[in-house]
Every structure is written in structure tokens, then in C-alpha cells.
Structure 1
Amino acid sequence: MATRDERSGPEAVRITTAAPSRGSDIAARQKRYLFSMAIRTACFVGAVAVGPGWLRWVLIAGAVVLPYVAVVLASSTPKPRSEMPLRGTDWLGREIGPTR
């Protein structure tokens, strides 16, 4: 009998490896971006509140670098999961018989 590899046709798609919906993907990106910007704001406020010293420069450096990190994190897309391989089958019959 012919196996899946020998037949022509599209590869089966597993729903467990499907990408999240566009709306949930955008919501997750917005949350990551807002969290990063909240940390950046805290760095600016902390730099003003701390006063002169080395900690002020660390906080300023964090406030300068965080926008780049926030954009990179917000732009990243989730990779599909592939830890569950499909089992091959040699059965080529119909799953639903003809209707009358």
C-alpha cells in the first residue's frame, strides 16, 4: 500500500502547532512592548530620584537601550511547535462513506 510520502497532496496540519490568532498575537506583542516601556519610564524616574553617582548612569543607559530591546521583542514572532510528530499511516480508505 502507498504511504503518505508516496502520495501527492498537502502535508497534514496539526492544530497543536498552529500559530496563535492574529488578535492574540498582537495583544501579546503590545503587552511585551508596554512592559518594556514601563521599565524604561522607571529607569528615567529612578535616574532623576537617585541623584549623582554610578547608579544614575546605569539607569540612564537602561533607559536608552530599552526602546531597541522593546521593539525587537515586540517584532518577534512565535515559532511553531513541532515536538509532536505525526504518525504515518498506510490506510487510504475514506473516513466518511457516501451519503444516500
Structure 2
Amino acid sequence: MGKAKAVRITGARSSLTEDVRGRQRRYMISMAVRTVCVILAVVLWQESRIAAIIALVGGTVIPYFAVLFANAGREGAPTMPETFVGYQPPPALGPGGNAPAEES
């Protein structure tokens, strides 16, 4: 039998510490990619100018998006989960209607 998927039962956001840590991690990763782009631009300049220019453009544009995403703010509150997860049995009673009149 497979592992059951955990269901989040609260509408609370993640903690502020987790949010800041996640934004810092994304920023640091994007700056590492930028550093690689700049190094590639320097190394490839004599070999392939087109690849070096593409890497240089990447190293120039990435910081803009890194700052933009790092300062985007906290995520929205998650939506509440469905009440029933998985199989939902049909209702026990059908729709209401006129009951037949009893004869006396």
C-alpha cells in the first residue's frame, strides 16, 4: 500500500522565518547562477563571442529578477482543503418530494 498524502487542515500561512529563509535561498541561488554566467562570459569571450554575449546578458538581467522576486512579499493564505478527501458516498436519502397520501 502506498503512502497517504498529508492534508493541510489549516488556512494559516507559513511562519515569517520560513518565508524569509525561502526568499533568501532563492536570491542566493539566482546570484550563484549570475556568477556562473559572468565567469562563462569571461572564459568564452575568445572562443565564442555569441555564447559569451548571451552569458553576459544573462548575468546582467538575472539580478533584476532576483531582487524583484526576493522583495515580492509573503505568499497568500492557502485555500482551505476540501471537506472530503477521496471517495464521497452518495447521500442516504434522495431528494424530497410529495409523500403519497394515506387512505383511511
Q: Which residue of 2 aligns with 1:37?
A: 31
Q: Which runs of 5+ in 2 are unaligned?
A: 1-7, 84-104
Is residue 50 of structure 2 the alignment partner of residue 75 of structure 1?
no
Matched residue type, 2:76: K
Deviations 1:34-90 (A, max 9, x none): 00000000001000111241001100100110111101111222122115267xxxx
Over aligned residue pairs, what C-alpha RMSD do you find? Answer: 1.9
Q: Which runs of 5+ in 1 are unaligned?
A: 1-13, 87-100
Higher relative contact order (CA 8 A, sep 6+): 1
In the alignment of these two chains, the number of paired residues is 73
- Aligned-pair identity in percent equals 34
Q: Which residue of 2 aligns with 1:58?
A: 54
Based on CA coordinates, which of the two structures has the bigger radius of gyration? Answer: 2
Find runs of 4+ consecutive structure 1 residues off by over 6 angstroms.
none
More helix by share: 1
Q: What TM-score do you get using the length of structure 2 for normalisation?
A: 0.62
Q: What TM-score do you get using the length of structure 1 for normalisation?
A: 0.65
